[in-house]
Structure 1
């Protein structure tokens, strides 16, 4: 089986795939756009301006700084509530009964996120930077909490989503609900011998993926296909080493320590092989136990059998 899209979304004419020229320039701002499968009904979409860090045949790398103004979506009748907090039965209705969605102003929370997008696959890899609430108040380096080991933690995250289409100034995809996280420090994605280890992977939002099928928001086959994509991806992590290169965490930490909009061509450039050569020097993250976060993941998550 190969990774497949359960549905298509409307995109502008003359779009092209990630990995195909002409490429974006480092430092350019493009809009990451999430469109639902039923976008044509309400024309509601999430739109987030992101800075291009690199773009080439291997894929695109984009940065969204913490505090960046964004456009998000809300459900009519629940305008003050994040859609993820709306009861599942109310959210995932059959199309004829589905709640109306609208666009609202938002702000990206956290320190920022680096998104790595391989060509023509239904997922992207995220390196999320968040405040480490477990750090000691005086745990700083050079007086800068952003760069201090232990003050900011990085989370590797796989977002299952529609195969990406791009234009000269935007990227289009659709969120497939299911995510893959690596929450346990004892079972990291990156091993000491440079392997990618899926043993610590946890499927997140399985309850929502099931609800989309059980309450009739979309066909059950779509949920099964998305789940199968996640399972196959974990079996094939080695096919996507570029996207999971641990260097991306170094790049993300550096960007989190800079003001939004200050990244220039000297910070990262694309070589002939499409890989990013980034200056190193950001401090390594202090290892932290994620047991509490692991326990907070909803019950019923898909338990994958590892060979």
Structure 2
């Protein structure tokens, strides 16, 4: 099942049988290279938040007392997201007012397609790659704290996640796709705009 250009889909993170983050996105393309999505700045998303305001960056899922998916606007930049088939990561191109800001590598389980989009499980550790292809790990402390947690990953799975990140870093260091300048001048269709979550999406 492939999605059509211009179609609005939902990208979800799941963990422990529940949805932890939801983003609506517009399909740019869907082919053998992967699913390519566009999220416009200000689009409505929803993230799992505890009653005291803490998120999964602050505590593990089972440490939340009364978590709910809270709607909020997507951060102050646009994002182009590529999910290569079977890959343990997605690559994000960030733009601010049309100017390319750099890449973000989100380490995650290979995406699974749903009727209305895709879902994956975030692996906590990420890689930030600047326009000059200089890179840095992100959320290493949070990643280390989750190793051995039953809702997250054991040491072997954590090592596999880091190895996947190292493979992507190697691509960045030599300027290979997707870090070869592809899409850095991307401009969305003028008809694509900020999205809101479809009714009921944030509570599934």
TM-score normalised by the chain length of structure 1: 0.55
Consecutive unaligned residues in structure 2, runs of 5 or more: 195-204
Q: In the superposition, relative to structure 1, how do residues 245 and 171 fare at CA in structure 2: closer, same or farther (>3 Å)? A: farther
Equivalences for residues 1-307 of structure 1 within 5 A = 22-36=1-15, 38=16, 40=17, 43-75=18-50, 77-78=51-52, 80-84=53-57, 86=58, 91-92=59-60, 98-100=63-65, 101-130=67-96, 146-147=97-98, 152-183=99-130, 188-189=132-133, 200-213=134-147, 218=152, 219-235=154-170, 241-251=176-186, 254-255=187-188, 258=190, 260-261=192-193
Q: In the superposition, relative to structure 1, how do residues 163 and 214 fare at CA in structure 2: closer, same or farther (>3 Å)? A: closer
How far apart in 1 are the matches of 2:27 and 2:179? Answer: 18
Q: Which has the higher strand share?
A: 2
How far apart in 1 are the matches of 2:171 and 2:95? Answer: 25
Larger radius of gyration between Structure 1 and Structure 2: 1
Q: Which has the higher helix share?
A: 1
| Cα pair 2:9 2:117 within 8 Å, conserved | yes
How far apart in 2 are the matches of 1:231 and 1:217? Answer: 24
TM-score normalised by the chain length of structure 2: 0.80
Runs of 4+ in structure 1 off by over 6 angstroms are: none
Tell me the secondary structure at the aligned position of residue 25 of structure 1: coil
Q: In the superposition, relative to structure 1, how do residues 55 and 214 fare at CA in structure 2: closer, same or farther (>3 Å)? A: closer
